Amino acid sequence: MSRPTPETRLVLGIESSCDETAAAVVIGTRVVGATVATQHELHEEYGGVVPEIASRAHLERMLPVVRAAIAAAGIRLHDVDAVAVGHRPGLIGALLVGTSAAKALALGLGVPFIGVDHVHAHLVSGLLHDREAPAPSNPELPAIGLVLSGGHTSIYRVEELTRPVLLGRTIDDAIGEAFDKVAAMLGLGHPGGPGVERLASKGNPDALDLPIANLGRGRVDFSYSGLKTAVRYAIQGVPGREGDHRAVDPADVAASFQKAAIGAVRRNLRRAIAAHPDTASLLVGGGVVANRSVREMLESECAEAGIECRLPSLDWSQDNGAMIAALGGLRLAQGESDELELAPAATTRDDRTIPTPPAS
Ligand code: KG4
Ligand code: ZN
């Protein structure tokens, strides 16, 4: 039997960092089978993800989800050539479930074990394609990478897909978290992004003048807590001055919030591109990329800057096992894998190694 090469290697990817239990089998960036079991219904009544409930649900669902992904791929477990897992960052109890399952499977199958950073994996989600679809060309590098999710809002310089370098990130709430909190204030369900988007489509984005935090000239960090507070005051009135408060249309609140939240991303993207004029493409990932206004803004910014825009399809923008498997496969192709001692970690190892020069 011939040895598998990077072009034929079947990589199983496992994801359990938050509230999605997911597994997928990929060959390179081709997804041959994938399953996602979402826990949204378990956390809805709490308005946010409850870590202990998430861990227990991952434990119950992990093996059925892996089996389903293997079945969808039309292979047997023994055909798998490597097992990758998102081992950081995330909820530690949730990560432990996926990491332990991945280690046990790799050990049992006698194949390499690879831990990947969940946030970095979002950056390759725009390269994934379904088994029948033709493989897209590799993205031109260097790229700017943007992750817009419920837990992260980060911007990267990507010279190598396996080693993105952080340029900036949120100093408080993530953009998706801001959508979720605004949804809770407006009495919409959890996760709140889709509900806010739907309501925003009926409102006037210029009805309220909401703040976009600017953390310094040329800086590409984000802050969403001030915006969130401004939305709260718009809905409830400023504490101590409730008497002056005038009722606002919830649709106008949603539309104005969405405009400001997206405006912060646009401004930082422009700054990052200006600071790195050799940027050839934009790699994007994270659940918030499902938002139509976000996608339109990113596409138009890329067109204006003359760079390629790699948006993931809606299937792969949210947490999934395929992006984990694809990034694991890239590391494997570079001859890298991890020891079974690799520990899950709640935080990412991202470091500021490129200072962002001030942009004009
Ligand atoms: O990437 P993801 O599935 O999980 C994390 O790693 O966080 O992202 C989930 C986030 C949630 O905050 C959710 O509200 C947001 O993505 N989201 C959206 C939309 N769909 C999901 N935000 C804005 N508009 C949407 N259509
Ligand atoms: Zn994620």
Tokens 């969130």 locate to: 228
H helices within the chain, ranges in order? 40-43, 51-73, 92-109, 118-122, 175-185, 193-200, 225-236, 250-275, 292-305, 314-317, 321-333
- Is residue 29 in contact with ligand 1, taking CB distance under 6 Å? no
The dihedral built from the CA positions of residue 166, 169, 171 and 176, taken in this order, carries a sign that is negative
Higher pLDDT, 357 or 286: 286
In the prediction, which pLDDT does 347 show?
Answer: 85
Q: What's the average model confidence in pLDDT over 40-58? A: 80
Q: Compute the average pLDDT of residues 80-91.
A: 96
Higher pLDDT among residues 351 and 75, named by residue: 75
**pLDDT above 90 as % of the chain:** 77
Across the range 324-350, mean pLDDT stands at 94
| 82 membership: H or E segment, kind and range | strand 82-88
The predicted structure's pLDDT at residue 135: 82
The pLDDT of residue 42 is 78
Q: Which two tokens stand for residue 9?
A: 């290697």
- Identify the weakest region by mean pLDDT among 1-10, 64-73, 179-188, 260-269: 1-10
Ligand 1 pocket check: which of 179, 182, 199, 227 to mutate, most ligand atoms within 8 Å of Cβ?
A: 179
Per-residue pLDDT at 2? 63
Q: pLDDT tens digits, residue range 188-211?
A: 988 899 999 999 999 999 999 998
Q: Can you tell me which atom of ligand 1 is nearest the CA of 20?
A: 3
